[in-house]
Amino acid sequence: MRPALRFHLDGAPVEVTDLHPTTTLLRWLRATGRTGTKEGCGEGDCGACTVVVVDPAHPERGPRAVNSCLVLLPQVADLQLFTVEGLAQGATLHPAQQAMVDALGSQCGYCTPGFVMSLVEACHRPDLRQAAPDDWRLDDQLCGNLCRCTGYRPIRDALARVAGTSPDDAVATSLSAPPASPRGSLDYQGDGGRFVAPDRLEDAIALLAEHPDARVVSGATDLGLDVTRRHRRFPLLLSVARIDELDGLDEAGDALRIGAATSLSTLEAATATALPLLHRMLRYFGSRQIKHRGTVGGNLCNASPIGDLAPVLLALDARVELASVRGRRRLPLSEFFLGYRQTAVAPDELLVAVHLRRPPPDARRGAYKVSRRRELDISAVSAAFVVHEIDGAVAHARLAFGGVAATPVRAIDAEQALLGGSLDADLDAALAALSAQVRPIDDDRGSAWFRRTLAANLLRGFVAETASVPFAPLAPGHSATVAAGSQPSGASR
């Protein structure tokens, strides 16, 4: 048991004691006089609070820009933390800072520290070195940062100057150190709260069996809002972030296993070739910062009707693996969501992994997300489709949606309507079945009419697109409007 939280802040060791574990990193930074890091919203949506972390146990993952307003202080224990205040060497600015000055990337300057930190991450992304000006990854790198003054053009210019340049800075030094041993476990207590992060699954489920009232936390991008917006002070938090078994993607032939605590950015990188359908959806998921913290398990257990991974995973017939001291069990994801924000996870259970198989290479497939703003926004409707035709007849159909019911759902009747027929010819029957099944919610993100219309139109678009009508000429480049996620296959045409 450790009494204190220890981490490195801009290269210097820091020890924190006596603070409640729900204290956010941002509040701590500002309360201790490090006011260079700003608060613009406290809900992960503006990026003014962005800092960069490096996990010494995983330098290969590179530095990660994260929203310090949603990071709980115990979550940075044993990590290396970099803030805007530690970048300049005396009067010499960091290249990311210099690029912002040179490109006139600041006006009021309030968003600037956050942008600088996103640029610092970009400096160390070799994959951005040759990015074309309209590469979506450049937008993705910045979309978690809002600026109300500049209109972004100069900031994007600054990004283009430094992306992938791997400067020899303090971040580089921490990345080049040999990987440290894994972080081990953590049991922190302060101000009446406790934060436990076991490094073995057995310990975690044992703790949960003993304290069914413990609140599980993974990346805290959902749970953090309970703290910052609803002012919850959880007395006991159980973090799954240090359990190796829950981290990462494993492939065995066509079978894939995704650990529940795998961060969405790790998953995004791993699925670019392994599972393009999921990768496509991740492209439109939150922001870079959110994807660095948010996890697969958190997204599913949060059970939002508009969670974006569920439709894709439903369309892929994913199964979830749950564990408790009573043992392990697997169940299909379609049986996981019981009702509005309700899941089949028992109070003493943890979600361990998601299992799925790659779809047949000649299946028609697509993943789509429609939100008011293309980037960093919650879906009005998201959808994923996998349809396999053999000799012109539909042999397998999965049509899954988010935002059209109280939970993410498969449109079973519409799937049935397609079976044995042809996707192109029987579309109308499928649409009719779909329209009878969807019961969309009506809220500020979209009326029931809008969601109903979108559900039908996305299916229409999918059919057209995978039949090679130019449904989505916007897809490849800058700020694609429609996520045309399919890999049209010769065989299906």
Ligand X SMILES: Cc1cc2nc3c(=O)[nH]c(=O)nc-3n(C[C@H](O)[C@H](O)[C@H](O)COP(=O)(O)OP(=O)(O)OC[C@H]3O[C@@H](n4cnc5c(N)ncnc54)[C@H](O)[C@@H]3O)c2cc1C
- List residues near ligand X by CB under 6 A: 44-45, 215-223, 240, 260, 285-286, 290, 293-295, 297-299, 301-302, 307-308, 345, 350-351, 378
H helix intervals, 24-106: 25-31, 95-102
Q: Which of residues 77-136 bind another protein (CB under 8 A)?
A: 83-85, 87-88, 93, 96-98, 100-102, 104, 106-113, 116, 133-134
Rounded CA gap, 184 and 199, in Å?
A: 6
Rounded Cα gap, residues 231 and 228, in angstroms = 5
Q: Supply the minimum distance, in Å, between the C-beta of residue 155 and ligand FES.
A: 8
Binding status of residue 69 toward ligand FES by CB under 6 A: yes
- Looking at 165-173, 194-202, 261-269, 376-384, which segment touches another protein (CB under 8 A)? 376-384
**Distance between first and last Cα of the chain:** 61
Per-residue string for binding with another protein, 262-291, x by CB under 8 A?
A: ------------------------------
Q: Where are the beta strands (DSSP E) in 125-220?
A: 186-190, 193-197, 215-217
Contacting ligand FES within 30-49 (CB under 6 A): 39-42, 44-49
Please report the beta strands in 154-240, taking only residues with DSSP state E, as ranges in sequence order.
186-190, 193-197, 215-217, 236-239
Q: DSSP E strands: which ranges in 349-467?
A: 350-357, 364-370, 381-390, 393-402, 409-410
Among 37, 68, 174, 218, the residue binding another protein under the rule CB under 8 A is 37
Q: Rounded distance, CA 222 to CA 157, Å? A: 32
Tell me the C-alpha distance between 162 and 99, whole Å. 7
Among 138, 147, 270, 417, binds ligand FES (CB under 6 A): 147
CB of 380 vs ligand X, minimal distance in Å: 12
Window contacting another protein (CB under 8 A); options: 263-271, 305-313, 338-346, 464-472: 464-472
Q: Kindly write out the interface string for residues 253-282 of this chain, putting x where it contacts ligand FES by CB under 6 A and - elsewhere.
A: ------------------------------
Q: How open is the CA angle 97-100-105, to the nearest 5 degrees?
A: 145
Name which of ligand FES, another protein, ligand X, none residue 69 binds, using a CB cut-off of 5 to 8 Å depending on partner kind.
ligand FES
22, 97, 118, 150: which one binds ligand FES (CB under 6 A)? 150
Which tokens hold the place of 314? Answer: 């439903």
DSSP alpha helices (H): ranges in 124-152? 136-142
Structure tokens at 230: 């609803």
Residue 222 contact partner, candidates ligand X, ligand FES, another protein, none, CB within 5 to 8 A by sort of partner:
ligand X
Angle between helix 153-162 and helix 112-123 axes, rounded to 10 deg: 30
- Note the residue count of the chain: 493
Find the binding residues for ligand FES in span 75-114 (CB under 6 A). Answer: 106-112
For residues 349 and 300, what is the distance between their CA atoms, to the nearest angstrom? 14
Query: Which 177-206 residues touch another protein, going by CB under 8 A?
Result: none
- By the rule CB under 6 A, 419 interacts with ligand FES: no
Closer by beta carbon to ligand FES, 232 or else 341: 232
Least distance to ligand FES from the beta carbon of 293, Å? 11
| Strand 236-239 to 249-252 pairing | unpaired
Name the nearest CA neighbour of 438 among 426, 428, 448: 448
In angstroms, give the least distance from the CB of 143 to ligand X.
Answer: 10
Nearest-angstrom CA–CA distance, 277 and 365 = 7
- Chain residues that interact with ligand FES, rule: CB under 6 A: 39-42, 44-49, 67, 69, 106-112, 147-150
